[in-house]
Amino acid sequence: MEANGPSLPWTLRLEHRGSAPVQVVADPRLLWFEVRVPGKKQVHQCRLPPELRPSEPKASQWLTLSPGEALEGRFDPRLYCFATGGQVVLVPGAQVQAYLGWPEERRRRWRRGKREALPERAPFVAKAAAEQQSPPLKRLVAASFALDSRYARWSATALPSEETARSPLELRVTAGSDVAQERSASVSVTVRNVSKEKRLLFVRRDLLRFEVSGPEGSFSCTPEPGAFHPSAQSFSTLAPQGSLSLSTRLRELCPPHSFDRAGLYLVHARLVASSDGAEWGYEAFVGELSSEVPGVVRIRQGELGLVPPRLERVTPPSTSEPTPAGGQRPRD
């Protein structure tokens, strides 16, 4: 497992380092994380919701890996470690332990006055390709790693960039949504006055624009032009560090069926403020604001199912170094 940074997908790699062929279930939906957040005692579990996670593998998902072969794919960890607002789990310093498969049951029984371990029960994620003594595995375990300071941009407490701070106002998508179907998908947007003076602003939901990146590509959400003209009472006053928030159902602004596919959607917001209120003697903010960090929407079911990340077969270049005797089991 490799965390490539908050602006790039993470890499999932299943590499067979043993000496005999093995079979693995090539399904990234079986991925999950245990995350230790700095300052928190409880270990946080990140995994897909039950609607998206298979309960057992299909026969077509078993792939045979020869020694030295690997499977590799890329994914967005926020699909698994979801947060409707800013991230509080995938933050700088968090220790991430990744698994692929199903949790071990660790069943025990008493026999002749002693507790003994019972064999694990199916489903399994890896097994020997031929009859061997090695038992099948319920899960594969990756080496743990820590997230660096770049992941502050995902955090709920992330500071605006210098470029954003030059504007007296900033726009953030402060909350996404985790819903079953498109009809319930929504985002909350907040405009904050980051200057030291009060600011006037004319803002309505139909002045918001959204740029969305989803499982099947990117698209824009633009409301129909309205005939509403501002009045003197329709301007909002933002005190220094003051803010106002708007909540929007995305299906009201986005093209039909935009969120039919189950999966993760990254939503950037834009606010086009064009009314300065000069006819009433105002000096309201005029300009365009854009959110630096996207909000996150997860569709758990949708009209269309989830398309998991593809794992491509990778054959590493030949090496003169011999494979150690008693090679390890496959791991991610």
In this prediction, residue 141 carries a pLDDT of 92
The tokens 């946080």 sit on which residue?
44
Q: Which two tokens stand for residue 163?
A: 């470029």
Identify the bridge partners of residue 57 per DSSP, sorted by sequence position.
none
pLDDT digits (tens, 9 = 90+) for 254-301: 999 999 999 999 999 999 888 888 888 888 899 899 998 889 999 998
Domains of the chain (ranges, CATH numbers) = 10-152+307-314 (no CATH), 160-292 (2.60.40)
Q: Which segments of 102-258 are extended strands (E)?
A: 108-111, 114-117, 126-128, 139-141, 145-146, 169-175, 177-179, 186-193, 199-202, 208-214, 217-221, 235-238, 243-249
Please report, as a single letter, which amino acid is at residue 283.
E
Identify the bridge partners of residue 61 per DSSP, sorted by sequence position.
none
Spatial distance between the Cα atoms of 219 and 205, rounded to a whole number of angstroms:
19
pLDDT digits (tens, 9 = 90+) for 119-161: 788 899 999 887 766 788 999 999 999 999 999 888 765 555 5
Identify the bridge partners of residue 6 per DSSP, sorted by sequence position.
none
**Element counts in the chain: helices (H) and strands (E):** 1, 24
Rounded to the nearest angstrom, the gap between the alpha carbon of residue 268 and the centroid of all alpha carbons in its chain is 15
Start-to-end C-alpha separation, the chain: 6
pTM: 0.79
